[in-house]
Chain A
Amino acid sequence: MNSMTTEQIRALIARGKMKDTIFQALGIICLAIGLLVIFLLVGDMLIRGLERLNLDFFFQYASRRAAQSGILSAWVGSLLVMLVTAVAAVPLGVAAGIYLEEYARRNWVTDIIEINITNLAAVPSIVYGLLALGIFVYAFGFGQSILSAGLTLALLILPIVIVATREAIRAIPAMIREGSMAVGATRWQTCRYHIIPYSMPGILTGVIIGLARAIGETAPIITIGALTFIAFLPPVPFTATGVDGATAGLFDWVMSPFTVMPIQIFNWTSRPDPAFEANAAAAGFVLMGMVLSMNGLAIWLRYRMRKNIKW
């Protein structure tokens, strides 16, 4: 092949750069469309719900009159359900992830488990609701409680936690593991001193992203029978229950009936009275805020914790 002249080289580069520019423009347009849609949705909710977004809205129970309705029982319910979800899903998911990465031998059994975990993440959430209705609500007798809801959502996010744990563990270089084993550590010591601490940022991020997904779930919660109209809070530990002067135990709240944010929103949108629409929009905006701040927290935590971990 003959060598090209300077002009030919320049023309070639210009053609290549042209394509660069076109692709860049396309990318920006696609990105803008995506962002714009989200922005419009959130903005629309904010505008429609603005009249209801005041402090009272957060500290009032739902009511038959739209203007006096609030989301107190809904956000408290959401937070408590998330607490149960996290407490159940994190130890299970992290332990499963560590087992699969650090202990399990590679064979067809682990292959099948692996495929199943991937599939679990794709199971429609309503199916988890049906499963939980049978197991938690009836078989275990937990009833339509915060506990049932929390455990249901824990099942739902378990694959997310497991996958996040495994990915975080895989990011740890083999030489760190070898360095630990080489001084005579057992597998468990290696996990406890190295694998778990170093994968914590990734695991936490996965957990929070899982929780952010769970907090917006409606279908499985409806399936297990969350109430849509509730004008009391779960019993605070060690306070009077109002029944024969008894005091609530530390964990009585987990068996309490409850509602959560998405169900409250769903309930308001299905009312014939259009006044409730503003409530729904305002509550939607709050829920969106909850999800975004959880994701923000995940990013911040990851950044903070990663600073001290480098190899």
Chain B
Amino acid sequence: MQIQENPALKAEARNLSFFYGNTQALKGINMPIHDKKVTALIGPSGCGKSTYLRSFNRMHDLYPGNRYEGEIRFFPDNTNLLSPEVDPIEVRMRIGMVFQKPNPFPKTIYENVAYGLRVRGERNKRTLDDKVEHALRGAAIWDEVKDRLQDLAPNLSGGQQQRLCIARALATDPELLLFDEPTSALDPIATGAIEELVHELKKRVTILIVTHNMQQAARVSDYTAYMYLGEMIEFGKTDEIFLKPNDKRTEDYITGRMG
């Protein structure tokens, strides 16, 4: 299997297992992430979608007792993201994340977006201004906030906060963006805005998105993976997964007989 030479791949999980202490939450997952495509993760609550997603940016390293097995290969440089020799901070510098609940910092809108740049040592005001604007435009929120960049971010609406968090993640030009149910706390209109954004973003960045919403997965993703009880049951092109799933469990879930 010489997949790492496949230019179409951004990352690949290889026999990935994960343990919260003694509880195994992921069981030998193998899965490719295609470059500049949207990959959706679906599956019933508690099946390990968030756990899987958070392995990509080593979020689990923040808490004691967590353990990975296997690899996540990251291309083009073929780095194993989970290797103990790879600094999790380096990983997070390359991979952005947007959380389920919008989590803007209690700072100004500007500072929220500039934060990732400041962390990277950027001090030049012009550069910061430019990149902040670029990120806010990229997250389709610039027009709404351009006159109030110095307002506190938590005063924005939930949908605006989530797009601000996307801008925060975009500002540092990540190669891969992780979304953990980014619209589950939002109304249909804000959800629509985010979905459109995801569609727009995949021109520039690879996206891995967890969603509970089948229609959403069908609308935004190119590939879909169905997880169940910590295992990857089925992976494939979204149309194929939704039209003719191979596995009975996938079919049951998609047609609403389960989960």
List A residues at the B interface (Cβ < 8 Å): 105-106, 173, 175-186, 189, 193-194, 198, 308-311
**In the bound complex, do residue B119 and residue A198 qualify as a contact, i.e. CB atoms below 8 Å apart?**
no
Shortest Cβ-Cβ A-B pairs, 7 listed: A184-B93, A183-B116, A175-B103, A184-B92, A182-B97, A179-B103, A309-B106
Bound state CA distance, A176 and B105, in angstroms? 6
**In the bound complex, do residue B92 and residue A180 qualify as a contact, i.e. CB atoms below 8 Å apart?**
no
**7 new A-B contacts at CB < 8 Å, known A176-B105, A179-B99, A183-B169:** A175-B103, A178-B103, A182-B96, A183-B116, A184-B120, A193-B115, A308-B106
List B residues at the A interface (Cβ < 8 Å): 57, 59, 62, 64, 89-90, 92-93, 96-97, 99, 101, 103-106, 115-116, 118-120, 152, 154, 165, 168-169, 172
Bound state CA distance, A179 and B118, in angstroms? 14
Count contacts between A and B, CB distance < 8 Å.
Answer: 69
Given A175-B101, A181-B62, A308-B152, answer yes or no on A198-B169 (Cβ-Cβ < 8 Å).
no
A167 CB to closest chain B CB (Å) equals 18
**In the bound complex, do residue A182 and residue B59 qualify as a contact, i.e. CB atoms below 8 Å apart?**
yes
Residue of B nearest to A177 (CB): B62
A23 CB to closest chain B CB (Å) equals 38
Most buried by B among A180, A184, A185, A198: A184
**In the bound complex, do residue B103 and residue A184 qualify as a contact, i.e. CB atoms below 8 Å apart?**
no
Bound state CA distance, A193 and B168, in angstroms? 15
Which residues of B are found within 8 Å of A186, using beta-carbon distances? 89, 119
**In the bound complex, do residue A183 and residue B59 qualify as a contact, i.e. CB atoms below 8 Å apart?**
no
> Can you name 13 A-B pairs with beta carbons within 8 Å?
A105-B64, A175-B99, A178-B99, A179-B99, A180-B115, A181-B62, A182-B169, A186-B89, A193-B115, A308-B152, A309-B106, A310-B154, A311-B103
Bound state CA distance, A183 and B167, in angstroms? 11
Which residues of B are found within 8 Å of A193, using beta-carbon distances? 105, 115, 118-119
**In the bound complex, do residue B92 and residue A183 qualify as a contact, i.e. CB atoms below 8 Å apart?**
yes
Residue of A nearest to B171 (CB): A183
Which residues of A are found within 8 Å of B154, using beta-carbon distances? 310-311
**In the bound complex, do residue A182 and residue B92 qualify as a contact, i.e. CB atoms below 8 Å apart?**
yes
Which residues of B are found within 8 Å of A189, using beta-carbon distances? 119
